[in-house]
Chain A
Amino acid sequence: MERLRRKSQYIFTLLANAYWLFPWKSPIYQGPLKKICFPGLNCHSCPAASMSCPLGAFQNLLATLRPSIQMGQLHIGAYVLGSLGLIGSVAGRMPCGWICPFGLLQKWLFLLPVPKFSFWRPLRRGPYLFLIVFVVLLPLLVVDSLGYGSVWFCKYVCPAGTLEAGIPLLSLDQGLRSAAGWLFAYKFIVLILLLTWCSFTSRPFCRAICPLGAIYGLFNRVSWLRLRFHPDRCVQCKACLTICPTDVSFYNGLDDLNSAACIRCLRCFSICPSNAVSLEFGPVREDISKAVNTLEV
């Protein structure tokens, strides 16, 4: 299963960045595939990006909502939310574990031989904060005299934009390089800090910041695909907790197995020696939440 997941991460990273003509042709891909939102975090200004970034697209639609209404159009981000919601309703947060290029990068960085630190659990609320404030409210409410807002998350937080788009484009274009100022310096520092954090802690961006993961995470309990914990089979060996990249502690009832923190990497499902974790696809079974509540009591 882990080998399959690794292959999936590599294939989707290549698919999301399949335009390798940028040094000779247009600096970024401008074909029809960019009408499709890639289900992971991958900046569409990356020279090799073949699809659009859902977070960037959603913020752009919200930032231009007022002018679009004035022109008689209602562009509220339904296309982007519909795309993400459709994927989330089927697989929950599975794209985070199987598709996202930035998740793959975090996995690589965590392999570096440096001391490892556990994640501070209250930061789990971070992704919702970034989603509500930086992705929705600020682009929607902070507007100029013409009614245009800005893409706040992309501009001030997103490390993928700096890494995948900023650094390559500035390396290739003298004009862009000379235009870079304090904002690029700030974004570069944010990127370095985040990448450093990724080497010390497992998937900190997914767990503390990523608004895309926050959206998918909302579906984990009600998606077609779900994980199911069988407490009667559990031998309390903690193998699931040891291997979980987001420290979902379901064996002792601290977390729900289908909590929003789970990125559906399915490593717990693969490693459990007593088959206490199973996969389900279908309508929600009423006894799942009861099983968790029984454990908590």
Chain B
Amino acid sequence: MKRYFPLFTTIAFITLLALGIWSGEVPVVWHKAVTVCLSCIGIG
């Protein structure tokens, strides 16, 4: 069973990635990344 862990994990995370895209997370990630994060730069 352990032998096929790489295959299981790859399939599981491709599924998770697809789920994230399908649920509309990509525009949220983009929106946060194109706005200056005040917390990251130490202001707010």
- Asked if residues A161 and B37 are in contact (CB atoms below 8 Å), the reply is yes
- B residues with CB within 8 A of A: 2-7, 9-10, 12-21, 23-30, 32-34, 36-37, 39-44
Given A34-B33, A57-B29, A184:B6 Cβ within 8 A: no
- Asked if residues B36 and A45 are in contact (CB atoms below 8 Å), the reply is yes
Task: Among B23, B26, B30, B39, find the residue whose CB has the most chain A CB atoms closer than 10 A.
Answer: B39
Given A34-B33, A60-B32, A82-B13, A284:B6 Cβ within 8 A: yes
B15 shortest CB reach to chain A, Å: 8
B43 shortest CB reach to chain A, Å: 5
Task: Among B20, B26, B33, find the residue whose CB has the most chain A CB atoms closer than 10 A.
Answer: B33
Q: Nearest chain-B residue to A32 (Cβ)? A: B30
B23: contacting residue among A51, A74, A154, A155, CB under 8 A? A74
Interface size class of A (residues with CB under 8 A): 35 or more
Nearest 4 interchain pairs by C-beta: A79-B20, A82-B17, A85-B13, A78-B20
Bound Cα distance from A240 to B4, whole angstroms: 29
Return chain B residues, CB-CB under 8 Å to A49: 33
B42 shortest CB reach to chain A, Å: 4
B25 shortest CB reach to chain A, Å: 4
Q: Nearest chain-B residue to A288 (Cβ)? A: B2
Return chain B residues, CB-CB under 8 Å to A155: 39-40, 42
Given A35-B29, A52-B29, A75-B24, A150:B10 Cβ within 8 A: no
Return chain B residues, CB-CB under 8 Å to A285: 3
Q: Nearest chain-A residue to B39 (Cβ)? A: A155
Bound Cα distance from A30 to B4, whole angstroms: 40
Q: Which chain A residues (260-285) contact chain B, with CB distance < 8 Å?
A: 282-285
- Asked if residues B26 and A283 are in contact (CB atoms below 8 Å), the reply is no
A284: contacting residue among B2, B17, B25, B41, CB under 8 A? B2
- Asked if residues B19 and A78 are in contact (CB atoms below 8 Å), the reply is yes
Bound Cα distance from A187 to B4, whole angstroms: 44
- Asked if residues A45 and B29 are in contact (CB atoms below 8 Å), the reply is no
- Asked if residues B41 and A222 are in contact (CB atoms below 8 Å), the reply is no
- Asked if residues B32 and A82 are in contact (CB atoms below 8 Å), the reply is no
- Asked if residues A57 and B33 are in contact (CB atoms below 8 Å), the reply is yes
Given A56-B32, A75-B28, A286-B2, A81:B37 Cβ within 8 A: no
B24 shortest CB reach to chain A, Å: 6
Bound Cα distance from A78 to B39, whole angstroms: 23
- Asked if residues A29 and B34 are in contact (CB atoms below 8 Å), the reply is yes
A222: contacting residue among B5, B33, B43, CB under 8 A? B5
B10 shortest CB reach to chain A, Å: 4
Bound Cα distance from A62 to B29, whole angstroms: 11
Bound Cα distance from A187 to B42, whole angstroms: 6
Given A52-B29, A150-B39, A82:B18 Cβ within 8 A: yes
Bound Cα distance from A42 to B37, whole angstroms: 13
A2 shortest CB reach to chain B, Å: 26
A295 shortest CB reach to chain B, Å: 19
